[in-house]
Structures are given as C-alpha cells and as structure tokens.
Amino acid sequence: MANSSPVHEDSSARSKADRWLFSIESTLTLLGGLFILAVMLLSVANILGRKFFNIPVPGFIDWMVQAVPIIAFLGIGYCQRLGSHIRMDLMVSKLKRRALWVFELLSVVVMSGLVLMLVYGSWNHAERAIMLGDSTIDINLPTWPAKLLVPVMLVMLLARLVLQAWAYWHALVQNEDTPVAVPLIEDASTLARREAASVSGLEDTSK
C-alpha cells in the first residue's frame, strides 16, 4: 500500500507527541520539495545553457549526486507517519484489534532495529568523509553534508518508529479499536473514495 492512511488524534500524550513530531517532519518534507524544485531548475539551466550557449552548469553531475540523499531522506519520517511507504497488507488487512496490533508492533520493532543499524553504519560513513575531507571529482564539493544528513534523518525515522511502537503497545494492552498516532489500514472501498476525493479536490463526505 503506497497511499497515505488516516491517523487519529486525541488529547493523550501519544497524540501530542505525534503532532509535535509531525510538525517537524512536515517542515523537513517541505524543504525537500523546495530542494527538488531547485534541482529541477538547475537541470533546466544546464540543458538550456548547453544547447544554446555551449555553457553547461559547472559541476552539474556533482550537484546532482549530492542532491540524491537530500531528496530521498528529508521526507522519510513524514511518509512513515502517514503510512505512505510501500507495504504488502493483503493478509494484515484481515486482522482485527489485538491480532493486528501485535503484528504491527512486531513490524515496528523489527524496523526500529534495522534503522538503528543503518544509523550506526551511515554515521561511520559520514564521519570518514569528514575526517578524510572527501569531495566530489569535478568541482570538489564536500560530501560530508549530504552523508551526514542520512543518519540525522534516520534518527528522525527512529523517533517516529518508537512513538508508533508506544501507540501500538497501548492499543494492544487497552484492546483499542482505533489507536492514535499510527496510520490505520483502510478497506479497498474507503481507500478508493479517499483517492477519488484527493484527485477531484473534494472532501470525502463519507466521514
């Protein structure tokens, strides 16, 4: 499932933490979008400059390579909060209440462990780039800012996963129907209505 899912809110500490973290994730995602726009404009400038004036943007490839981790990682926590990362939920969608929360909790715990290992590895990679003064080949851009961004954003993702684990655990203990601070799985008809409303620009009146 690659579509965003609804996230319930209330006055609990979990929901307050969710909204606070989501505000940071939203700002980072906006910055990522602005950076994509900048990359697009730079690409246009490079194409037009090369075609009409035979003057490409200096170090264009270097800039593009450095842009990849920024574009890829700035919105990673935002997507996790909305449940927008691709996942297979054919079987999971059949589960209800405690059975579902157990599965989701285990999934989040496993993901947290993997992300923690990625934080360790990416931090070491960024640290080496700083110590060695690593730079790009053409115009000698320092590579450490882009490399350092990766563990920083993974830590943000880890914070989101810990919050979701807390929410799923509470839902499991309390046997809740609709826990807060986590994306909820929707059936096909509800998802189709939301997608149609999103495309048409109209609100879903079924809510």
Q: Long-range pairs for 128-135 at CB < 8 Å and ≥24 separation?
A: none
pTM for the model stands at 0.85
pLDDT for 137-151, tens place per residue?
889 999 999 999 999
pLDDT grade for 97, boundaries at 50, 70 and 90? confident
Q: By three-state DSSP, how is residue 58 classified?
A: coil
**Max Cα separation, the chain?**
68
pLDDT for 60-87, tens place per residue?
999 999 999 999 999 999 999 988 777 7
Domain ranges in the chain are 13-87+94-200
% helix, strand, coil for the chain, step of 5: 70, 5, 25
Over residues 24-34, the mean pLDDT reads 95
Over residues 82-109, the mean pLDDT reads 82
